[in-house]
Amino acid sequence: MDTNILAEHRDRLAGLRAWIAAQDLDGMILTTADAFQNEDAPEHDRDIAWLTGFTGSLAHALVMADGAVFLVDGRYGIQAAAQVDGADWTFGHIHDAPLAGWLRDRADGKVVGYDPMRWTVSQMAALRDKARGVTLSPCADPYAEIWADRPPMPQAPLRVMPEGEAGRTTDDKLRWLAEQITVAGVDMWVETRPDNIAWLFNMRGGDVAMNPLPLSFAAITADGAAHWFIDPAKLVVSLPDGVTPHEVDAFLPWLQKQKKRCAFDPAFTPDAVAQALTQSQHADGVITIEKARKTAAELAGFRRAHLDDAVAMAHFGHWLEQVMAGDDWPDEYGAGQQLEAFRAASGDYQEPSFVTIAASGGNAAMCHYHPPADGSARLDRDAIFLCDSGGQYAAGTTDVTRTFAFAPVPDDIRRIATAVLRGFIALSQARFPVDTMPHQIDAIARAPLWDMGLDYDHGTGHNVGHNLLVHEHPHRIGQKPNAFALKPGHVLTIEPGFYQADTWGIRVENQVEVIARGDGFIGFDPMTLVPIDLGLYDLDALDDSERAWIDAYHARVRDEVSPRLSGDVRDWLIGATAPVDQRAPQVSDSR
């Protein structure tokens, strides 16, 4: 690490400790989440990055006078060690050794502060229960004082999501929500997730790059009246009937004046909201659940977006093959920029849906690696290349990962990669009862790796929003329990992988739609239409069913995408989707 950068971060940590002491606190807990529980916060709230240098999307921290703890999950262990000074911070795993344990060990009998707008009701209830010897005290935002050049909050203008793309009017959604509020036996629903609010009002924004939503809060009453707490600078379009705007800073004071019985989702609502309300109850996020089941119009839009994305990915696959056959290999950042240029050729393309993960060799072992603009690694014919990317299109959001081999790979890598592919195929073609919970099918994708004594430390799939968040709630295919039943109309990803630190990594990812598969059963239908580079896998190890799945998938890609291509790119796609038994014999590298 650069010594000047280390010194700068050490000074910032000292400044935070001085602020903590001035508040008569013994310590403070920190999170990467903002007041809206966004995975990607605006620059104004990327304070952990400012404090430590860590640029990932999830971290918790505990700062005491005599030590500091930094916690991330399996996606970010390598990255955190590279970006955060181990001389100042003790590292831990956010799930295996969560924050509550560190509070018990290091702050028992002490008073630890927290910003109640950054931590949810559920998080604070769990921490208070599991770290009972610690007094957790709400406090002000320390960065308002110690971050001198803090960026302002964004003010991106609103835009309308047309009813033809949304499939439902705002009036219809408000009537539906009013019914849910009445059934719950309360007078008002408080909503603090901006993507839910954007869906409810059929609006989109641009306050956070790659997340087309307006940062805001809302409250909806049992008679269908909606109160929207949003910066007035964003209101450049007419609001739907029944929606009353308020200044965003008026949100908590307005709640404090309400004598209504209010409900909210404790998993995402700031603890400050619970403190402001005089009568409240917890409930599952009714908007979150409803939004996840896409309308016919939304599903049609997703399919159009994926066709546009498939065209871009075909151009990228052809370009990659051509450039890697030569001697002037691009670097990771340049490859990502080239892919962005291919996507931008679509008139419906708006922006990436997340920062492209273009990772060569050992960098592919970092699940959420982002190549720097200057100094990123150069692609190499002998190095595996992982590319995880996606786009925000007017009609939908895409997310796809493909891993490429430009030369024969060692047999041990080929065996592991083939296990990942087999798990991907197994879950892709699985059939299971309606209302199956996502965690109940996670093992299907992991089983081939488990047979080898291997695993991966991330989820197997997630919801995707409709021109909204690429990581949408509530469904997560993973090992942790997820009590939200799968039904037709849900849109998720399937993305098993494997990562060997400093050496290589693989992930295969399609976006899929949950569809009916016979009476009382459901399964997945791919939305992603991108060839799978088969040079990395031992095709002879696949059984007839697996080979048939690949051939059927590639035939669909060829039939739907090739009419939109021409010349060499079309020829490339046809070759990339050729039946398995027509492939040239594979050559292994026995290194």
**246 in the same domain as 179:** yes
The answer to whether residue 591 is domain-embedded is no
Does residue 389 contact residue 352 with C-beta atoms inside 8 Å? yes
Task: Find, among 246, 282, 273, the residue nearest to 192 by Cα.
Answer: 273
Pull the structure tokens for residue 379.
């692609």
DSSP-based three-state secondary structure for 358: strand
pLDDT at residue number 43? 96
The answer to whether residue 415 is domain-embedded is yes
> What Å distances lie between residue 199 and 11, 212, 292, 371, 492, CA to CA?
42, 11, 10, 32, 18
**467 in the same domain as 325:** yes
pLDDT at residue number 584? 65
**142 in the same domain as 163:** no
**511 in the same domain as 452:** yes
**53 in the same domain as 202:** no
- What amino acid is encoded at 267 in this protein? A
Single out the residue in 88, 121, 146 at which a domain terminates.
Answer: 146
* SS3 sequence of 413-435: HHHHHHHHHHHHHHHHCCEEECC
**246 in the same domain as 350:** no
b/e 278-306 (16+ beta carbons within 10 angstroms → b): eebeeeebbbbbbbbebeebbbbbbebbb
Rounded Cα gap, residues 182 and 193, in angstroms: 21
Number of domains in the chain: 3
Single out the residue in 237, 268, 290 at which a domain terminates.
Answer: 290
Return phi, psi of residue 119, to 5°.
-115, 140
pLDDT at residue number 527? 98
| Torsion angle in degrees (nearest 10) through CA of 123, 126, 129, 131 | -70
Residue 117 DSSP symbol: T
> What Å distances lie between residue 403 and 325, 366, 406, 534, CA to CA?
17, 14, 10, 9
- Strand pairing partners for 244? 227
**227 in the same domain as 355:** no
| Torsion angle in degrees (nearest 10) through CA of 80, 84, 89, 91 | 10
CATH number at residue 358: 3.90.230.10
Does residue 196 contact residue 118 with C-beta atoms inside 8 Å? no
- Quote the distance between the C-alpha of residue 468 and its chain's center: 11
The answer to whether residue 590 is domain-embedded is no
**138 in the same domain as 10:** yes
Max CA distance (Å), the chain: 73
First to last CA, the chain: 33
Q: Please compute, for residue 197, the number of CA atoms within 13 A of its CA located in the half-sphere on the CB side.
A: 26
CATH number at residue 132: 3.40.350.10
* SS3 sequence of 496-547: CEEEECCCEEEECEEEEEEEECCCCEEEEEECCCCCCCHHHCCHHHCCHHHH
Q: Supply the range of the domain harboring residue 109.
A: 3-146
**335 in the same domain as 384:** yes
Pull the structure tokens for residue 339.
């892919």
Does residue 144 contact residue 19 with C-beta atoms inside 8 Å? no
Average pLDDT per block of 10 residues along the chain, 591 residues long: 86 97 98 94 96 95 96 89 94 95 97 98 97 97 97 97 96 97 97 98 97 97 97 97 96 95 97 96 96 98 98 98 96 98 98 97 92 96 97 98 96 97 98 98 98 96 98 97 97 98 96 96 98 96 97 98 98 97 67 48
- Residue 494's H or E segment, with its range, is strand 491-494
**350 in the same domain as 336:** yes
Q: Is 481 exposed, middle or buried (0-12, 13-18, 19+ CB in 10 A)?
A: exposed
Rounded Cα gap, residues 408 and 294, in angstroms: 42
The answer to whether residue 589 is domain-embedded is no
DSSP-based three-state secondary structure for 385: strand
Pull the structure tokens for residue 297.
């119009």
**164 in the same domain as 139:** no
Q: What stretches of 10-134 adopt beta strand conformation (E)?
A: 27-31, 60-64, 67-72, 90-93, 111-114
- Residue 561's H or E segment, with its range, is helix 544-561
Residues 6+ apart with CB under 8 A from 120: 33, 37, 266, 267, 268, 269, 270, 271
**285 in the same domain as 302:** no
The answer to whether residue 306 is domain-embedded is yes
pLDDT at residue number 469? 97
> What Å distances lie between residue 146 and 31, 51, 61, 115, 143, CA to CA?
17, 10, 17, 15, 5
Q: Please compute, for residue 15, the number of CA atoms within 13 A of its CA located in the half-sphere on the CB side.
A: 16
- Residue 246's H or E segment, with its range, is strand 243-246
H-assigned helices in 429-510: 442-450
Rounded Cα gap, residues 191 and 180, in angstroms: 13
- DSSP conformation letters of 258-274: --S-EEE-TTTSBHHHH
Does residue 199 contact residue 169 with C-beta atoms inside 8 Å? no
Rounded Cα gap, residues 219 and 17, in angstroms: 37
Lookup result for tokens 């599991």: 130
Single out the residue in 91, 121, 146 at which a domain terminates.
Answer: 146
The answer to whether residue 263 is domain-embedded is yes
